[in-house]
């Protein structure tokens, strides 16, 4: 059974994951309108992934005797001065999500809720991967600068981007 404070913290994270889905969706739309099909498809896929993260939390809360809440969401930015600025905002967003996950880990340990702590470890690993992906993309975008040819190639290649972070590797 979840304590009320852990349930509240998990519901806060549900909202954050839903807002993350919206952030990626807004970026997908912006990129699509700018003719950046590869970037938009990447963002649409990540929007779906963030929604799955939200659903995983909802199921966990309900299965542990809590009540998941669906709340209103903060509207994401829908305009960006450049694709570089968009990816900078994305990295900032992922760092803030990681901070929220870390607070949830801390709360679960304080309350000795080891089931929640164990469950949240998946999100800790996922955030390492999300931040690594955002940093790698931003590094590539910074290398491109204002080169239109570089942007064309980046847009085409981003769909194949596969980041192998230390957390995602299988330990054998």
Which residues are known binding-site members? Answer: 17, 50, 53, 94, 127
Binding-site residue ranges for Fe cation = 17, 50, 53, 94, 127
Contact of 59 with 102, CB cutoff 8 Å: no
Q: Which of 127, 126, 106 lies closest to 117, judged by CA?
A: 106
C-beta atoms surrounding 146 within 10 Å: 8
Main-chain dihedrals φ then ψ at residue 28, nearest 5 degrees: -60, -45
> Please, are residues 118 and 109 in contact by the beta-carbon 8 Å criterion?
no
Q: How far is CA 103 from CA 17, 122, 168, 169, in A?
A: 15, 14, 22, 25
Residue 15 has which token pair? 């909202």
């Amino acid at each position: 059974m979840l304590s009320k404070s852990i349930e509240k913290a998990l519901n806060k994270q549900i909202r954050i994951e839903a807002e993350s889905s919206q952030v990626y969706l807004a970026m997908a739309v912006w990129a699509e309108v700018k003719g950046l099909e590869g970037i938009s498809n990447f963002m649409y896929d990540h929007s779906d992934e963030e929604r799955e993260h939200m659903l995983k939390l909802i199921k966990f809360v309900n299965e542990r005797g809590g009540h998941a809440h669906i709340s209103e969401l903060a509207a994401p930015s829908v305009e960006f001065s450049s694709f570089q600025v968009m990816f900078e905002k994305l990295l900032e967003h992922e760092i803030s999500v990681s901070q929220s996950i870390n607070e949830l880990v801390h709360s679960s340990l304080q309350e000795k809720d080891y089931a929640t702590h164990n469950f949240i470890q998946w999100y800790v690993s996922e955030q390492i991967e999300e931040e690594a992906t955002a940093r790698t993309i931003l590094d590539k975008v910074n290398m491109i600068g204002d080169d239109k040819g570089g942007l064309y190639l980046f847009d085409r290649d981003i769909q194949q981007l596969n980041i192998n972070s230390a957390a995602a590797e299988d330990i054998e």
